[in-house]
């Protein structure tokens, strides 16, 4: 990605020490319950766009799905993989995936089980099935081209509001609110003035995100990517580095003295000992095997029979594993 020359008045070090002359930050809105998101967004948006986009021009990571050659399919694949999995783990799988299936039709021609196999250890493997289902639908309904229209994207199987908006914005430069975990955290802090957003996305957050969108389509697409990158690199969940932040002088949470989180307890990310871990172990055996696997072989991966059976049943009902006669199992062929 080519980084344009950075305007000197937008260097992060400058903005931390105070707003530019004659420009005051919007008032900190520390009580989200009484804050109208549209008003807050309109008041803050224009102050935030330029510094965040300028920062992005200088600091955006050079990731393969951001290169022009990735195309809409590359963007879509990355969006499926990046939900709940960090960039470092996604990168090698993404490269292999695109090398093997450079177009939706290439993936659609394979069995869903091959998608699950190639998904490897990215976790939450139902995403592989959904991506395969989307590739089939793109091939059948859109002659193999990822649609640009938001409604058509949303109508694809396995594609929700977030992914439709992300593909339309990142691949096609359209104006959509793209509200992922990182963006929600940046908005919660910079605009609403709280440490963390709610556990699940609320209508108020969506309203705020829409109010914050720049009017110009291309600027809006850049803003979506830039605010997401700011949350990923600077305004991180536990160690926000405000001294590197281009909007520190305008950040409502920082200006309010960084009040502690007083909302509901945040969800943990436990893995060891959970059904998720057992499912992962069972699926790893099936990914390695190229012929059906006997129940006895699966039984070796986990000591506790009730939990093991529950995990296997879950994989079957999710369509990730296909049971065969004679107590054999394999990745799904159809």
Binding site for ligand SF4 (CB under 6 A): 186, 189-190, 234-235, 240, 242, 245, 247-248, 251, 253-254
Least separation in angstroms between CB 250 and ligand SF4: 8
Do residues 121 and 88 touch, judged by C-beta distance below 8 A?
A: no
Least separation in angstroms between CB 181 and ligand SF4: 14
Nearer to ligand SF4, 68 or 257 (CB): 257
Sign of CA dihedral 206, 212, 218, 222: negative
Dump the DSSP string for 82-95.
HTTS-HHHHHHHHH
Set 69, 79, 140, 240: catalytic member: 79
Least separation in angstroms between CB 14 and ligand SF4: 14
Q: Which DSSP category does 301 fall into?
A: T
Q: Indicate if 79 belongs to the active site.
A: yes
Nearer to ligand SF4, 130 or 184 (CB): 184
What kind and span of H or E run contains 322?
A: strand 322-324
What is d(CA 329, CA 87) in angstroms, rounded to the nearest whole number? 32
Q: Comparing C-alpha atoms, which of 98, 66, 278 is closest to residue 173?
A: 66
Q: Which DSSP category does 55 fall into?
A: H
Question: Please, which residues bridge with residue 330 across strands?
Answer: 322
Nearer to ligand SF4, 9 or 243 (CB): 243
Least separation in angstroms between CB 275 and ligand SF4: 35
Nearer to ligand SF4, 18 or 160 (CB): 18
Residues 6+ apart with CB under 8 A from 258: 195
Q: Which residues are catalytic?
A: 79
């Amino acid at each position: 990605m080519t980084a344009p020359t950075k305007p000197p008045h937008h260097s992060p070090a400058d903005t931390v020490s105070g707003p530019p002359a004659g420009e005051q930050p919007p008032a900190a809105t520390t009580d989200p319950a009484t804050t109208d998101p549209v008003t807050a967004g309109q008041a803050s948006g224009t102050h935030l766009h330029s510094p965040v986009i300028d920062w992005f021009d200088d600091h955006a990571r050079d990731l393969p799905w951001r290169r022009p050659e990735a195309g809409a399919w590359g963007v879509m694949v990355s969006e499926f993989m990046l939900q709940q999995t960090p960039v470092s783990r996604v990168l090698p799988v993404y490269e292999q995936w695109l090398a093997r299936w450079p177009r939706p039709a290439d993936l659609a021609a394979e069995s869903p089980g091959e998608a699950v196999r190639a998904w490897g250890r990215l976790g939450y493997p139902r995403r592989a099935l959904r991506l395969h289902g989307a590739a089939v639908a793109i091939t059948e309904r859109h002659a193999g081209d990822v649609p640009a229209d938001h409604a058509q994207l949303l109508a694809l199987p396995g594609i929700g509001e977030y992914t439709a908006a992300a593909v339309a914005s990142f691949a096609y430069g359209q104006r959509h609110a793209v509200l992922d975990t990182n963006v929600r955290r940046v908005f919660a802090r910079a605009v609403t003035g709280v440490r963390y957003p709610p556990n699940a996305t609320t209508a108020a957050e969506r309203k705020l995100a829409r109010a914050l969108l720049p009017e110009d389509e291309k600027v809006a697409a850049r803003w979506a990517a830039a605010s997401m990158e700011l949350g990923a690199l600077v305004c991180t969940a536990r160690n926000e580095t405000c001294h590197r932040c281009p909007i520190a002088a305008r950040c409502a949470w920082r200006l309010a003295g960084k009040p502690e989180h007083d909302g509901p307890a945040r969800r943990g990310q436990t893995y060891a000992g959970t059904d998720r871990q057992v499912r992962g172990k069972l699926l790893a055996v099936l990914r390695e095997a190229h012929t059906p696997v006997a129940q006895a072989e699966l039984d070796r991966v986990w000591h506790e029979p009730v939990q093991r059976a529950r995990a296997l049943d879950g994989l079957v009902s999710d369509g990730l594993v296909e049971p065969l006669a004679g107590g054999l199992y394999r990745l799904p062929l159809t």
